[in-house]
Structure 1
Amino acid sequence: MKILDKYILKSFLVPFVATFLIVLFVLVMQTLWQAFENIAGKGISIIFILKFLYYTTLMIIPQALPIGVLLSSIMALGNLGENYEFAAAKSAGISLQRLVRPIAFLAIALSGINFLFLNNIFPYANLKQRNLYLNIKKKKPAMALVPGSFNADIPGFQIKFDEKYGEDENLLKNVLIYDLKGNRGNQKVITAERGKIVTEEGSRYMTFILYDGNYYEEHVKSARTVAKKQKMAASNATFKEYEFNIDIGDALDQGALDTIVSSTSAMMLTLKQIKDTIPKLKRNYDETLELRAKNIYTSTQAKELYKYPDSLKKDNLEPIIIDNFELQEKITILNAAVTKAGRLSSTLKNNTDQIKFFRKVLNFYDTEYYNRMAFSLSCIILFFIGAPLGSIIRKGGFGLPMILAIAVYVIYFFANTFGKNLAEESSISSFLGSWISAIIMVPVAILLTRRATKDKGIFNIDSFLQPITKFFKKIFSKKTEKI
């Protein structure tokens, strides 16, 4: 390796290591801060927090690498320009392409490392982190309870409340509990204005203490008619304070925190596993569409509509079909049509929501497959943006390079996220949604590289100002001649 290559690599690697570690630390702390509300003050051990940080760091590395390459390439080339080392290299007959060649090879190698992380380490870390979080919820079920929606994480119960507050966040407001342990549906209901959760470390029971509420339970399994249902035996009582225990022993017996209880998300799979899963999802989606279509076809009784032979048709039929029936028959037909139309409309609405969900899941797997390949090239793309930018601005340090790097990455990341969201909603194809950020940024990289090679600025301001200046000069010169 030549001395020049070593010097260029050193100029790049020193800021790269610093910026990569800084960006990694910031992103990890941001993720930890988002999860801090759910784990702080819950008696979570330091081992859990360290494991959480370790898996989070592995997940963040593929995202921090492109930012580090972008920022360090701007800083390295900016420092070379600011110290007139570019001028010295050009006077020696060394072109910009030759100067940045070792860094370009390093950027390609970093893209390969990024791909390996995205395909192997990222799904592993995502799997371990997600299951770590699920298992800690099982160890401490109160963490699993989320305000504003029904919680089914505790077997045999549906629990809903408006707000969770207090120093330990174990106080509840407006509590609604369905006891489903007897597999009898919602026949046992408890409501309360306030509540409190009490759990002891290692205990197999979680205690609910409810205040100012109502208790209702039906003692008959089912009733076919409303009249029989009204006659069913039931218990109803109001209370100032009501306490009961929920057995969470099964949750406590799930094993260690690292036990794998979920591995179905696309984020937890390698590219090969995603590729093998997509055909199964596509087949299930097609079968669902076919089944729903058959159900709609059957519910409309389309088979009963058939063509009569011409010999059986009346000659004096009215062109409007309904006019061929008597008044009472018209009423019966229209009532039946309204009923069927309403039932069919409801079925279509329910089917649409379910099919949209299935389609979104399929799109998510498709998008994740293409996005990992597209995002692995981000180191190369952002390098060919950062390197010419640094040579153009000729400014090192963390000031201007940091601003430019943030602006470029925000555009790249926003385009990538926007494309993924459009693809998941079936607005565009998964391939286009995953590659849209590259499609936008590659022309920018080519343009900047050409301008840097020709030693031009980002924008040639003179090309805009000269026509305006000439225009005003002509106007003023004509006025002077008239005077």
Structure 2
Amino acid sequence: MKILDQYILKRFLYNFFSSFFILIVIFIFQGIWLFIDDLAGKGLGIVIIGKFIFYFIPTLVDKVLPLTVLLSSILTFGTFAENYEFAAMKASGISLQRGMRSLIVFVLFLGVVTFFFANNVIPKSEQKMFNLRRNIAKVKPAAAITEGVFSDFEGTGQGMNIKVDKKYGEQDRFLDNVIIHKKTAQNINNTVIKAKTGELISSEESDIIQLVLKDGHYYEEISAKDGKERRKYPFAKSEFERYIINIDISELNDQDLEEDGNITTDKMKNVGRLIKDIDSLGKNNLEKVEAFSKNIVNRMGAFPPPPRIDTLQLVKNEAKEIEKDSIEEAPITDTDQLLDKLQEWQRLQVVNNAKNSITGILNTVVSKKDELQKRYKFYNSHILSLHNKYALAFSCIILFFVGAPLGAIIRKGGLGLPMVIAIVLFLTYYFIGVFAGNYAKEGNIHPAIGAWLSTLIMLPLGISLTRRATADRGLFGFGHIFDRIKSLFKKKDKDSEEEE
């Protein structure tokens, strides 16, 4: 490697690792605010919090790495241009492409490493972080209660679901508007408890957590063997000012925070697993749609299958038709003809039955539509994640070819103008990717387009900037436009002089 290549590569690597470290710290602090409710005030040790941050860092690479490549390339080539080092290179016969040669090799290698990282490290990190959050919630029951939704307490041996509108106070011990569903041994909800307020009382020395409920109601279904008794006394109801539920967490104190659970989301899967699941999900969705369509057709009675033809019976029927002296009535081909043959009460009954049948079918279609939309959204998210792994690697390469010539054009180093331009370009790239990804999940565009759209938009920009930097043009070249306008006016003046 020549001295020039070593010099350019060293300057780029210095800016690359400096920018990466600064940006990763910024994004870590931004991410901590997202999970502050899961970590703060839960009595967690510094080791557990450190593990959580360690697992969280790889998930930031898809945001930090493209921005790092873009910023470091602008900084490096902007400093070269500002210090007239590029002018010295060009005077020596060294073009921009020749000066970028060592960095192109590095960026290509970085793209390969990025794909390996996105395929192996990030899915494992997502799974570790998910399991750590879940297991923390198991060890700390207060953390297991999520505001606004029902939270399961299966592992406590109590078998209950708890929902609260609000948590507040020290370690979220105070609860507002508590709803509890207790379960039987057969996993059936037969008891409902509602209270205006609640409080979680625990002690480090005890394996029992007390849930103290105030100003509430208690409903319980009566499990009677006799059907008559069940109809006579369907449930028991009572009011209370104070009600205490003891929750045994002795089994949870031995919970392993590093225990791995099932892979549940597309972000936790590598390329091989995604391809396999995409194939199985696609087939399963088609089977669901076909089965549902057949069910609706059967319920509607539309498009019935053709009956099997019995040839012997057909001959007998034809013989009977010949022997008939009377002419049969014409077959019914219209709904009005059918209704005219019925009495008024029969017509009302037929119409009401038809309305009820259609209403039931429409309700079934609407509910099934929501289910199928969720299934296809899950399916689209898998395709999107698969292509995102490839797009992330290529985005690092494309953004380098955007940042390097852009730095040579603006001829500014430091963290002023280059930082502003890098952030604006990255935000454009990032938000295009976010909007395209959301559209792809909803099925408005193909998931592959949603993953590649932001990168494909940056590709022509990189080609254009590279050509302008090679030709030593400015960022916005309007001169050739004015020259064309002037040439048009000159041509008109000549034409007018020749006519005279």
Common fold, TM-score beyond 0.5? yes
Contact 1:322 1:330 in 2 (8 A): no
Corresponding residue for residue 166 of structure 1: 169
Q: Tell me how far apart the structure 2 counterparts of residues 313 and 103 of structure 1 sit (CA, whole Å).
A: 92
In 1, the alpha carbon distance for the partners of 2:224 and 2:191 equals 11
d(CA) in 2 for partners of 1:215, 1:55: 43
| Alignment match, 2:113 | 113
Please state whether the residue corresponding to 2:172 is helix, strand or coil: coil
Of 405-414 and 294-303, the range deviating more from structure 2 = 294-303
What residue is the counterpart of 1:478 in the other structure? none
* Cα contact 2:184–2:190 (8 A) shared by 1: no
1:68 aligns with 2:68: yes
Which position in structure 1 is the counterpart of 2:496?
Answer: none
* Aligned residues of 2:198 and 2:211 also touching (Cα < 8 A): yes
Spell out, residue by residue over 1:407-459, the C-alpha distance to the aligned partner (whole angstroms, 9 max, x if none). 11111111212221111111111211111112211011111111111111111
Partner of 2:288: 288
2:281 paired with 1:278: no
Give 2:299's aligned residue: 299
Residue 237 of structure 1 corresponds to 238
Deviation at 1:267, TM superposition (A): 1.1
For 2:366 and 2:245, locate their aligned partners in 1 and report how far apart those are by CA, in whole Å: 40
Classify the secondary structure of the residue corresponding to 2:152: coil
Deviation string, structure 1 residues 86-113 (Cα, Å, up to 9, x no partner): 1111111111110111111111111111
Provide Cα deviations, 1:85-142, integer angstroms capped at 9, x if missing partner.
1111111111111011111111111111111110111111111111111111111121
Aligned pair in 2 of structure 1 residues 154, 464: CA closer, same or farther (>3 Å)?
farther
* 1:303 to partner: Cα distance: 7.3
**Residue 96 of structure 1 aligns with which residue?**
96
Distance in 2, matches of 1:316 and 1:146, equals: 64
Letter of the 1:356 partner, please give it. Answer: Q
1:318–1:324 Cα contact (<8 Å) kept: no
**What are the Cα deviations for residues 358-380 of structure 1, in whole angstroms up to 9, with x where unaligned?**
11111111111111111111110
Residue 192 of structure 1 is matched in structure 2 by 195
1:334 maps to 2:351 = yes
SS state at 1:93 partner: coil
Matched, 1:266 2:282: no
The alpha-carbon deviation at position 165 of structure 1 amounts to 0.9
SS at match of 2:194: strand
Q: Which residue of 2 aligns with 1:354?
A: 371
2:279 aligned counterpart, secondary structure: helix
| Partner in structure 1 of residue 324 of structure 2 | none
In structure 2, the CA distance between the partners of 1:105 and 1:221, relative to structure 1 (3 Å rule), is: farther
Shift of 1:5: 0.6
Aligned equivalents of 1:317 and 1:288: distance in 2? 36
User: 2:367 is aligned with what amino acid?
Assistant: N
**2:439 maps to which of 422, 430, 436:** 422
- 2: distance between equivalents of 1:119 and 1:79? 35
CA distance in 2, matches of 1:438, 1:15: 23
Within the candidate set 315, 319, 323, 2:330 is matched to: 315
CA RMSD of aligned residues (A): 2.7
1:43-93 deviation line (CA, Å, top 9, x unaligned):
011111111111111222343222111101000100010001111111111
Distance 1:317 1:288, change over 3 A: closer
2:298·2:304 contact (CA, 8 Å) conserved in 1?
Answer: no
Is structure 2 residue 34 aligned with structure 1 residue 18?
A: no
Q: For the structure 1 residues 72 and 338, does the alpha-carbon distance in structure 2 shift closer, same or farther, using more than 3 Å as the test?
A: same
Q: Which of 177, 181, 185 lines up with 2:184 in the alignment?
A: 181
Q: Residue 450 and residue 321 in structure 1: after superposition, are their counterparts in 2 closer, same or farther (change >3 A)?
A: farther
Q: What amino acid does structure 1 have at the position aligned with 2:329?
A: K
CA deviation digits over 1:296-322, x for unaligned, max 9? 223224477979999797328574344
Aligned twin of 1:396: 413
Correspondent of 2:217 among 203, 214, 219? 214
Matched position secondary structure for 2:167: strand
- Cα–Cα, structure 1 residues 100 and 214, in superposed 2: closer, same or farther, change >3 Å? same
Contact preservation (8 Å) 1:195, 1:211: yes
Give distance in 1, aligned partners of 2:303 and 2:229: 38
Describe the superposition over 1:185-214 as per-residue Cα deviations: whole angstroms up to 9, x where unpaired.
Answer: 443111111110123337443321011111
Write the deviation string for residues 265-319 of structure 1: whole angstroms up to 9, x where unpaired: 2211111111122111122212211222232223224477979999797328574
Which residue of structure 2 lines up, in the alignment, with residue 325 of structure 1?
A: 341
| Cα 1:321/1:458, change in 2 over 3 Å | farther
Distance between the aligned counterparts of 2:160 and 2:292, measured in 1?
Answer: 32
Aligned with 1:377: secondary structure? helix
How far apart are the structure 2 equivalents of 1:213 and 1:443?
A: 65
Matched residue type, 1:292: F
Q: State the one-letter code of the partner of 1:75.
A: L
Higher mean alpha-carbon deviation, 373-382 vs 307-316, is at 307-316
2:263 aligned counterpart, secondary structure: coil
Q: TM-score, normalised by structure 1?
A: 0.90
- Relative distance call for 1:228 and 1:341 in structure 2 (3 A) is farther
Separation (CA, whole Å) in 2 of partners of 1:223 and 1:403 = 77
Pair 1:317–1:238, CA change in 2 (3 A): closer
AA of the residue aligned to 1:101 = R
Partner of 1:56: 56
1:221/1:260 CA distance change after superposition, 3 Å: farther
Rounded Cα–Cα distance in structure 2 between residues aligned with 1:424 and 1:315 = 55
- SS of 1:63's partner is helix
Change (3 A) 1:78 1:282: same
The one-letter amino acid of 1:94's match is I
Identity %: 36
Q: Which amino acid aligns with 2:423?
A: I
